[in-house]
Structure 1
């Protein structure tokens, strides 16, 4: 199992749990964290026994974004990982899900701060749960910076444009209730229970046919920018093969026999 000093990896049944683990810095991004994240996404996709991923943070925060001390020139922690970044200059963007999409569903469990780079990573996740005291926002413009992790492209496609532009152009914090009201997160739960709620969602995902789940996720993203007519054609190409799988037949049999299905990814 992968992992680094700033990224903890563990298994909960068929769910791979990735925990941003730098609580003394509110889980601000570091090189060890980014390397661990990218390796975690690869591990999840390479292991057929993993059916979902939960991303969370240690110490009551999700992620406070980039380490501004490092940006100011004081150096990023984890110099021993520098060769990884040299070998793959896009590694940090892939780690942040800017232009890397795992085929397994990714569920975010947010407590505390999820701001700047944290909100950018959030946009790469599929299902999002937040504790009621969580805080979101893209603070970059307030510091004279640009949210270059994909937010000017993705955020207006995920929430109404007026809300996206307000978030992008004001740099103000958003409480969890407001984040839910504009569609940035899907569910707000009592503080301290976001991870439990995310794991419950993951268990429901895990109980479904893995080939079907992955095909559905792929179809949603593949068709997002197509016209409706083009999207429906694309959906058939993704969807019809699922009906020919042994898992589909097992699902129908289990329903008829009033039992839980035993999916084998076949």
Structure 2
């Protein structure tokens, strides 16, 4: 694997770096368990855009610094009438939807997003998690929607998305009790896909990203798009839409390169053409 190529972009609460073809976004406010802030939201949205616009990026890993993923909204700042990083308010004013895009409520990156979770991933953290595609967690990670315990509503998309991602009875229990869930429980109900030893989530996520990066990028992006756009369709409609997405992939130079590489017993060299 090519190693880190250095930081790109980011804000005081969101670091961005590249490792080979993977863009790594790190929520970086460990003193607050990576509670959401304006600088973090702006940095997240810019990171999603960078991944979308840079064809050299084939996958994204989202993680948190200091042994935490994200403890949700900064309720202390919210109660005090503001959030850290008010200098970013012009960005929010220019795009009132920016925070929802940052939290993957109103934006879906075209590249696969892998979450690497350690420690708390609760409230807004679990809401962001719902916008990711593949999820890895350390054994000590904790998940949950605490909003109802504070008299709040999980408005980051959870009442819509969660019941589509896990069985409804589990979704309702999570949303209505506000109780914490262990990584083992989250795996059992299907909220996450992997549990690894504490401290190993990022390495496992990068390993998965490397596998994705070795695949044809046009095929990967078309598969992801097809899965999401057909999710709410009836089967016949979805199958028709799949052909619209899938057939053009077969007519690419990358598809021909994949067949040649297989015949020649070598690794393919994909060029997104």
**1:22-57 C-alpha deviation (Å, 9 max, x unpaired):** 000000000000000000000001000000000000
Instruction: Please name the residue that 1:70 is paired with.
Output: 77
Task: Tell me how large the CA RMSD over aligned residues is.
Answer: 0.5
- Separation of aligned partners in 2, 1:251 and 1:180: 34
Q: Structure 2 residue aligned with 1:170, among 155, 171, 177?
A: 177
TM-score, scaled to structure 2: 0.97
TM-score by length of 1: 0.99
Indicate yes or no: 2:36 matched with 1:29: yes
Q: Deviations over 1:168-220 (max 9, x none)?
A: 00000000000000000000000000000000000000000000000000000
Name 1:136's counterpart in structure 2.
143
Q: How many aligned positions are there?
A: 266
Tell me which residue corresponds to 1:263.
270
Query: Which one of 201, 207, 213 corresponds to residue 200 of structure 1?
Result: 207
Q: Tell me, what secondary structure is at the counterpart of 2:80?
A: helix
SS at match of 2:172: helix
Q: Counterpart of 1:189?
A: 196
Q: 1:220 aligns with which of 217, 224, 227?
A: 227
Query: Is residue 162 of structure 2 the alignment partner of residue 155 of structure 1?
Result: yes
Shift of 1:74: 4.0
Structure 2, unmatched stretches of 5+, are 1-7
Q: Deviations over 1:43-91 (max 9, x none)?
A: 0010000000000000000000000012213420001100000000000
Residue 18 of structure 2 aligns with which residue?
11
User: Structure 1: which 5+ residue stretches go unaligned?
Assistant: none
CA distance in 2, matches of 1:255, 1:190: 36
Which has the larger displacement, 202-211 or 64-73?
Answer: 64-73
Per the TM alignment, residue 156 of structure 1 is displaced from its structure 2 partner at its CA by 0.2
3-state secondary structure, aligned to 1:192: coil
Q: Work out the CA distance in 2 between the residues paired with 1:167 and 1:231.
A: 30
CA distance in 1, matches of 2:44, 2:10: 8
The equivalences for 1:104-119 within 5 A come to: 104-119=111-126
| Paired position in structure 2 for 1:49 | 56
Aligned to 1:38: 45
Q: For 1:140-193, what per-residue CA distance to the aligned partner results, in whole angstroms no more than 9, with x for missing partners?
A: 001100000000000000000000000000000000000000000000000000
SS at match of 1:11: strand
Structure 1: distance between partners of 2:257 and 2:146:
49
- Determine the structure 2 residue equivalent to 1:239: 246
SS class of match (1:37): helix
The aligned residue for residue 122 of structure 1 is 129
